[in-house]
Chains A and B, each alone.
Chain A
Amino acid sequence: MGESGRLVTEKLTKRYGSTTTALREVSLSAPSSGIFALIGRNGAGKTTLVRILATELAPTSGRASINGIDVVEDDKRLRERIAIVPQEARTISWMTPKQSALAYLMWRGFGHSEAKKRAEESLARLKLDKVADTLNRSLSGGTKRKVLAAMVLASEAEIVFLDEATNGLDPISRRDFWEILRELAKDRFIFLTTHYLEEAEQLADTLGILGEGRLVAVGTVPSIRGRIRYQYSIKLPPNTNVPGVAEGEVTTGRDGQVQILTNEDEAFAISRKLSVAGTRFSIGPVSLDDIFFQLVGESTLAEREAAG
């Protein structure tokens, strides 16, 4: 199984005990280059999928391969090529960023002088050279996450897994981190999981959406947008008379703002009506947020109906 240059899974399933199914027959095929972002709610199975692909966890059934290397049968070979920053990973408090990167590279088998050179280059590349000799415990949360990224960036790994790497970062640190990820993705395959839809939209070359252990969609953002029922979004301010909608969904937010999700023809028809009435409104293709809620919402509903 498997193809060169692709991440492939076939009916990948993971059960914990007899009651919990974290992944349900996940099958996908995506390029193993650039950034693959996996999004889903808490408990959707993102971390389970990452851990299986990173050879940390054995699947219950099904198969997976990256660049033709099976994650179970050929795990030792794959480990030569991968690196991971796990969810909730932290820098070791009694070490400095330079020591952290150096030790990680030595664990991967680099000689001391080569590891030292790579560690210093990587820290400089991520603008961490000024704090390279500061104890990790004295660094900010954002800087600590960058140190973890510097460790894997310094390595020879061609495939890097980042499990919710930007969780807990403030918006500015998160955007800084995105730059690092774009840098990493220039010569590696980055498999990223995130809660932040904006992050996935900004970074992902390929996107996967998980809902309750099932792969709901996979592809580029435009291709996924093309597959959903309603591709246009019209937003109206609170207390606006909403025109009749022949096809689509109308929702009202807590702030009173109205959103109409609809198809292209209906979107233009509604726009004309609103323009004639002199109503303020905005129109555009649906955002990843909208796509996510349409797809995962439908998936969750279908699951519950199937469960009776």
Chain B
Amino acid sequence: MENISKAFPGVQALDHVNLDVCAGEILGLIGENGAGKSTLMKIVSGVYPADEGQIYLLGRPIEIQNPHHAQQLGISIIYQEFNLMPNLTVMENVFIGREPSRFSFIDRRQLQQRTQQLLDRLGVRLSPTAIVRDLAVAEQQMVEIAKALSMKVQVLIMDEPTSALSETEVQTLFNIMRELKRHGISVIFISHRLEEVRMICDRVTVLRDGRNVGTLSAAEATEDALIRLMVGRSLNEFFHQESAAQAAPKPDGAEIALEVRGLTRKGSKLDPSAIVLDNVSFQLRRGEILGLAGLVGAGRTEVARALFGADARDAGEIYVDGKLADIRTPFDAIHYGIGFVPEDRKAQGLILNQALRMNLTLPSLVSLTRFGFVRLAEEARRVQEYVGRLQIRTPSLDRVVRNLSGGNQQKVVISKWLMLRPKILIMDEPTRGIDVGAKAEIYSLMRQLVQTGVSIIMISSELPELLAMSDRVVCVAEGHVAAILDREEATPERVMRYCTIQRRQPTEEATVQ
């Protein structure tokens, strides 16, 4: 791949990226959230067209038109979310759309034989006639791999294939990857887990801000070297100013606004062994911004949701102002003065088909009601106040929020909590998908809030933003608190190291290899 560029409205997702994979090689692809890994892989697999650049396969330039075309060329991708039909059998999934047929009927015997051959080649003990829904996640993954093999794959891209697997399953997967390699197939392995990357890959390419910032051989790719490449950017000027303005240190003895002790949430009923949150404890001081750092899926959002009563918790206590708070529903949390700006404003924060004023006053409507009737004039006055204060750009208070821009929508979500005058505000990805101007406005609003004594828990996948805004940083990895760092200690390298820590150490057998 040469000079691949891709821009989305407002973002340069990829900036002249070069990437090469040799035949029979396992290439690791790592980078922070949003570094461009997924975008790059989607271009290679034909989901998006590239704005610029050229892709070569076995030395020949190719034009990939769509995912189907990519598969015909021998490029297959396995996403984190599998592309299987859960109600069909293994063999039907493997050969979907390409079933061997006889007299225009599906030749089930041949279908079964050919699937069995593929599974044998992978060394997987699975029945071709099993229903996919009944399989474990790891087994479903094998079906995906078998499907790719059936299409004579030359380049197999695996997007975070290990994130849902247990330790032994990861080892099985690695063995299969080595097997593929022996057959001359190239594998691109995307992962957040640095140890795994170092264990299996021949070379590792690091993406940052849509650029290829370096490719290291297995020998060079120490954890330190990888982390340095991943976070290498200096915090930009904007944040330096922010930090300086905010430098006044918070007294250590500040009151504790919120304390979480032993927050634990087990996995779903289907998989009760998986632990979503494991004994999470931390304190939030009055007037501070506490950052929750972690990789996607590490449990940051789950901490916030459990704390706000949005998800049930299996254990753990929450103290607000030193007193035990009985929070079981969002209603309870609001009662204790907690507000929650959720990560997905369209699905969780807003009622898209309703007016701005209705969205803005929804949590605080009780205080705007007399004898059950909404005091419309008072409501309009209060809404107007926040529209002015947060500079929400809208032609009218009755504008349906779907028709507002992302930044203005986010301001509506924030305003609806501010109107309640919260003591604690949880903000999950408060700047996701909004333009730079609106971001700056939200940062300055957050600083104003903490100066008035509000405490903020901030979750962000953008590490520079998180470090610049936070007084302290809680590093979350695999559902538990890996470290709590003060502002001075929280360098990007250290935070990233704690966030990529693997709790379960790899087995001996694996380390030997």
A joins B in a complex: no
Q: Which residues of A contact B (CB under 8 A)?
A: none
